[in-house]
Amino acid sequence: MARKKIALIGAGNIGGTLAHLAALKGLGDIVLFDVVEGVPQGKALDLSQCGPVEGFDAKITGTNDYADIKDADVIIVTAGVARKPGMSRDDLLGINLKVMKAVGEGIKNNAPNAFVICITNPLDAMVWALREFSGLPHNKVVGMAGVLDSARFSHFLAEEFQVSVKEVNSFVLGGHGDTMVPVVQYSTVAGIPIPDLIKQGRSTKERIDAIVQRTRSGGGEIVGLLKTGSAFYAPATSGIAMAEAYLFDQKRLLPCAANLTGQYGVDNLYVGAPVIIGKDGVEQVVEIELDAEAKANLQVSVDAVKELLDACKGIDSSL
Ligand code: TXD
């Protein structure tokens, strides 16, 4: 069987880490695309030279030409610019919208059958715009945020309860940003819901509330420490988990930014929700019963996403 082809649009911090992980995990041949000349080629050569040490034969190439992503099976998009001091949110939206337009057209013309995972911020707006510009079916375009946000939540919970991360299962829903909704009700340690563990005296509501807050500002905490960029190891790992669910038809139930069609009272909007990912991409959006607090928080998050989309439509009249 021919090797799968993984195209990574954006060869920055996350793009490079995605390529490294995809090669180590033997997911297929890898094409790194970027608008900057030399960077994808240089990273591809460096990564190729891991092959003899790690024992992988994946072909890793760098390019500035969309023709090279032809017939890719999976495309992960991290292309864009980060917000710089003095840049308004709308300035950033305008720049990254243009990037999504170019990427969407590149995908439409070269790899219309791919499963596309968008990581670029502001995530919920960019994944929606990328879907619009590429014209791919909604089930084949998905955004990565919930897997990362849940990983952060789970990491903090494992520390709190002093157990292996393997025992922790957690869910973060809604938009990617300050309004995300870590769902305590459905987060468990070895199947035991967090509220029950609080009742048992293993933690307190105040401590869990603090963890929820730390999860919400998890990206900012890392930016504050790094100063020159944002998190990239865990975002890349999370993107790869989604790619694997598709490539290996794993039917994993993962929180992803997916197009909702009435679920959670949301219609035709990309918002973080639990979805099943398998060989057909997003195969199902799973609705879970939320308590009043989570429901209200999700509404705030959905409203924030809607506001972002309205801003996008104001910037690009073709949307
Ligand atoms: O949970 C999440 N979704 C996220 C999102 C978690 C962490 C970071 N998140 C966002 O991912 C972040 O805010 C950025 O929007 C993306 C990529 O983050 P990364 O850390 O990889 O950014 P870099 O290192 O700046 O890389 C971006 C690359 C860089 O090499 C640019 O030259 C390239 O994107 N770029 C382009 N590539 C292709 N096409 C176009 N038009 C283009 N413009 C810039």
Task: Please check if 237 is assigned to a binding site.
Answer: no
By alpha-carbon position, which residue is closest to atom 29 of ligand 1? 12
Provide ipTM, 2 decimals.
0.99
How many Å lie between the centroid of ligand 1 and the Cα of residue 250? Answer: 27
Hey, CA dihedral for 193, 198, 203, 207, is it positive or negative? positive
Task: Please check if 106 is assigned to a binding site.
Answer: no
Q: Is 229 in the pocket of ligand 1 (CB under 6 A)?
A: yes
Q: For the chain, which domains are there? A: 5-144 (3.40.50.720), 146-313 (3.90.110.10)
Task: Per residue of the chain (319 residues), give pLDDT as tens.
Answer: 899 999 999 999 999 999 999 999 999 999 999 999 999 999 999 999 999 999 999 999 999 999 999 999 999 999 999 877 777 777 889 999 999 999 999 999 999 999 999 999 999 999 999 999 999 999 999 999 999 999 999 999 999 999 999 999 998 999 888 889 999 999 999 999 999 999 999 999 999 999 999 999 999 999 999 988 899 999 999 999 999 999 999 999 999 999 999 999 999 999 999 999 999 999 999 999 998 988 999 999 999 999 999 999 999 888 8
Q: Which residues are catalytic?
A: 176
Helix axes 13-24, 233-247, angle to 10 degrees: 50
Mutate to test the pocket of ligand 1, among 8, 14, 76, 271 (most ligand atoms within 8 A of CB): 14
How many Å lie between the centroid of ligand 1 and the Cα of residue 1? Answer: 32
Please list, in sequence order, all residues whose beta carbon lies within 8 angstroms of the beta carbon of residue 225, skipping any fewer than 6 positions away: none
By alpha-carbon position, which residue is closest to atom 23 of ligand 1? 12
Q: Which pTM value belongs to this model?
A: 0.97
Give the number of other CB atoms < 10 A from CB of residue 113.
11
How many Å lie between the centroid of ligand 1 and the Cα of residue 190? Answer: 36
By alpha-carbon position, which residue is closest to atom 43 of ligand 1? 80
Q: Is 210 in the pocket of ligand 1 (CB under 6 A)?
A: no
Cα–Cα distance measured from residue 10 to residue 275, given in angstroms and rounded to the nearest whole number: 26
Cα–Cα distance measured from residue 251 to residue 138, given in angstroms and rounded to the nearest whole number: 17
Contact call for residues 123 and 149 (beta carbons, < 8 A): no
Instruction: Dig out the tokens for 31 from the structure.
Output: 């094409």
Q: Is 36 in the pocket of ligand 1 (CB under 6 A)?
A: yes
Task: Please check if 143 is assigned to a binding site.
Answer: no
Instruction: Read off the amino acid at residue 240.
Output: I
**CA-231 nearest atom, ligand 1:** 7
Cα–Cα distance measured from residue 207 to residue 156, given in angstroms and rounded to the nearest whole number: 11
Task: Please check if 60 is assigned to a binding site.
Answer: no
Q: Is 222 in the pocket of ligand 1 (CB under 6 A)?
A: no
Integer-rounded Cα Rg, in Å, for the chain is 19
